[in-house]
Chain A
Amino acid sequence: VRVSLFVPCFVDQLTPQVGLATAKVLKRLGHEVEFRSEQTCCGQPSFNSGQWDVAREAAIRALGVFRGAEVVVGPSGSCVAMMRQFYPELLKGTPHAAEADDLASRTFEFSEFLVKKLGVTDVGAKFAKKVTYHDGCHALRELRLKEEPRQLLRAVKGLELIESEEGETCCGFGGLFSAKFPMISTAMVQVKGGALARTGADYVVSSDPSCLLQVGGWLSREGKPILPLHIAEVLAHDA
């Protein structure tokens, strides 16, 4: 399959290793990977803030960027949900509606693509660490992905998966919410981060790099000995 990478804007700028790991795993499985450099941000910050007219422009732009791509794969439940669930809603009743539906049908979250589209759970990774998994809200509640990332993790050699008490609880990130309502966002990550730290895992793994910014940022500030790691980074480990 020829995969067009959808790299979230903040991954591009802050955690590029997530994008590189995603490409590495896909290439290792024998797929061709391209990155269309005209892509920037999917418009989710504006969409979530209620600025749908602004977000619509970003959506129309993205349709052009990914035009003709066989499949689009992104290492983020939240950004993929934007493209897959919310572009069609944003562009409903406009001349772009059909193309939005079409792009939605070709867009996948990374773990979803591996398990549901390619039928792969063992990607040949080795990672002898204890990890706990955090379900991002968009992956869990919009894309309905719960077992897929866990199947992938369980197939990693040496990896021990520990479930936390608050596996499905929101981390409190929510994009601009985390900065507009920092007190609520922090209260939420205290609950989430506390439960993650109590698992005794070495890493908290998620398919959502934005959640990892939030939990990782809080865990680091609190000096908890557990590090954030994207699932693609785990799956890219082969030595």
Chain B
Amino acid sequence: MSDSKAIFLKDATVNAADGDQRAFIRKALGGYYLNRDLQKARYRDWERARDAASMAKWSAVNDLANVLEKFVGNFERNGGVVHWARDAAEARAIILRIAEDSKAKAIVKSKCMTSEEIHLNDALEKAGYGVVESDLGEFIQQLRGEAPYHFVFPCMHVKREAISELFTKHLGTAPTDSPEELTMIARRHLRQLYVDADIGITGANFLVAETGQISITENEGNARLTAALPRIHIALSGIEKVVNHLDDLSVLLPMLATAGAGQPMTCYNTLYSGPRKKGECDGPEQFHLVLLDNARTRLLADPEQRDALHCIRCGACLNVCACTDACPVRIDLHHHLLHNRRNAAKESPTLFDRVFHHGFNFVIKRPWLFATGGRIFRATLPLLQKLPVPYMRAWMKTRDLPKAPARSFRDQWKNENV
């Protein structure tokens, strides 16, 4: 068994059995469902908005090389510096080099899921930099020493009391159960850190090709401070975040807010157009953009799953049982699950599965064997339920089986229709 599979099975067993935690998450999501549906209802036609959003992403992704080139040209004209990273290691090396060249010490970050993808914090901390997450949820997760739980709501699983305890332990503040007070504690703590930081690292929600701007949408204003106060701004983005036109944001931004958080719009929507220019009184001296491939071009080459690059990271599919209907940009999620399983079975077949399915196939190709096997199965079902038969036992642990009928459908049909 692979490590990730073992971890998954262990976590699934623990979390599925934790009724309190599940009820807590369900309650939080209940509020999300309500707001999401309220906001969806405010669209004149949500389905057509989905079409438009999907089309905006499709037209950029299907012409990715050209659109990216156009974006980069405009971004550089605005005074930014572009770095291409083939994989996570290259992206980390680029960011470390910028930090070293600029003799930076302190780094502040706003929410950037791509930095989780490349395990950036680990690399920066190992190299001796102080790194602080400035998004409230991410800040809490960083103090807890955990990766974000969800990419829109990083600490949605953590209860208020636990956050208070965490702040008391790490920041020495007095316990409180007021969300406002907890927010103020983090805010007071973070303010000076923006001022002290040499580098601000952000993600990017969209890269606008026609203007060379980076769009960042957020609720807390921390990304603005992260991008504006330190003398160097580094944005890290996957190459698939590019869109053709500024106008595309008119559907993508509200859609991201609605599908992601049940909001009509996120509170702060900013377009970043390069470093401080001559005569401007603020903004970073340097503005770097790291464009990450990390297997995205491999995905692009796969016509079956290419549409996964349309993802706008709203996280809507994490909040429900993932299916295509959940995705605002119509990524064919549930069919990709089937395709992934097929690919996985082909790449690393498990002996058990091969034997099981070939055996099953041997039986179903022979109706007489299927009928006989069925008869034996039904006759021995009461006994089978008591024996440690692998799949049967897993089923029987929480569920009953119907009482096996004496005669199958085919037997009854034969008697009635002779």
Q: Which A residues are closer than 8 A to B by beta carbons?
A: 7, 9, 11-17, 19-20, 23, 35, 37-41, 43, 45-52, 54, 57-58, 61, 137, 141, 169-170, 176, 178-184, 186-189, 191, 213-214, 216-218, 220-221
Kindly state the separation between the CA atoms of A22 and B22 in the bound complex, as whole angstroms: 39
Contact B399 A218 (CB under 8 A): yes
Tell whether B325 is near chain A: CB-to-CB under 8 Å.
yes
Kindly state the separation between the CA atoms of A11 and B338 in the bound complex, as whole angstroms: 24
Contact B353 A16 (CB under 8 A): no
Kindly state the separation between the CA atoms of A169 and B126 in the bound complex, as whole angstroms: 45
Contact B413 A19 (CB under 8 A): yes
Kindly state the separation between the CA atoms of A74 and B350 in the bound complex, as whole angstroms: 32
Tell whether B401 is near chain A: CB-to-CB under 8 Å.
yes
Q: Which B residues are closer than 8 A to A by beta carbons?
A: 9, 12-13, 16-17, 22, 26, 321, 323-325, 334, 338, 341-346, 353-354, 357-358, 360-361, 363-365, 367, 370, 374, 377-378, 390-392, 394-395, 397-402, 404-405, 407-410, 412-414, 417
Contact B365 A141 (CB under 8 A): no
Contact of A221 among B354, B374, B392, B399 (CB under 8 A): B399
- Closest chain A residue, CB of each to CB of B417: A35
The 3 residue pairs across chains A and B that have the minimum distance between CB atoms? A50-B345, A217-B399, A50-B341
Interfacial chain B residues near A7, Cβ < 8 Å? 409-410
17 of the cross-chain contacts (CB-CB < 8 Å) are A15-B402, A16-B412, A19-B413, A20-B413, A37-B410, A40-B363, A43-B364, A48-B341, A141-B324, A170-B321, A182-B394, A183-B17, A188-B321, A191-B26, A213-B401, A218-B399, A221-B400
Q: Least Cβ distance of A21 to chain B in Å?
A: 11
Contact of B400 among A23, A169, A220 (CB under 8 A): A220
Majority DSSP secondary structure for residues of B touching A:
helix
A214-B399 CB under 8 A given contacts A45-B360, A50-B346, A184-B12: yes
A184-B16 CB under 8 A given contacts A49-B353, A179-B391: yes
Interfacial chain B residues near A51, Cβ < 8 Å? 345, 353-354, 357
Interfacial chain A residues near B390, Cβ < 8 Å? 179
Interfacial chain B residues near A20, Cβ < 8 Å? 409, 412-413
Q: Least Cβ distance of B239 to chain A in Å?
A: 29
Interfacial chain B residues near A217, Cβ < 8 Å? 395, 399-402
Interfacial chain B residues near A9, Cβ < 8 Å? 364, 370
Interfacial chain A residues near B12, Cβ < 8 Å? 181, 183-184
A50-B367 CB under 8 A given contacts A12-B409, A188-B321: no
Kindly state the separation between the CA atoms of A102 and B13 in the bound complex, as whole angstroms: 44
Q: Least Cβ distance of B1 to chain A in Å?
A: 13
A58-B361 CB under 8 A given contacts A16-B409, A19-B409, A217-B401: yes
- Closest chain A residue, CB of each to CB of B399: A217
Interfacial chain B residues near A58, Cβ < 8 Å? 361, 364-365
Kindly state the separation between the CA atoms of A229 and B354 in the bound complex, as whole angstroms: 34
Interfacial chain A residues near B392, Cβ < 8 Å? 179
Contact B360 A46 (CB under 8 A): yes
Most buried by B among A14, A23, A170, A220: A14
A216-B357 CB under 8 A given contacts A182-B394, A187-B22: no
Contacts A51-B357, A189-B398, A189-B399 aside, 5 further interface pairs with beta carbons under 8 A come to A47-B338, A52-B345, A58-B365, A186-B16, A191-B26
Interfacial chain A residues near B404, Cβ < 8 Å? 13-14
Kindly state the separation between the CA atoms of A74 and B9 in the bound complex, as whole angstroms: 35
Contact B391 A180 (CB under 8 A): yes
Contact B397 A216 (CB under 8 A): no
Interfacial chain B residues near A141, Cβ < 8 Å? 323-325, 334
Interfacial chain A residues near B398, Cβ < 8 Å? 182, 186, 189, 218, 221
Interfacial chain B residues near A54, Cβ < 8 Å? 357-358, 360-361
Contact B365 A57 (CB under 8 A): yes
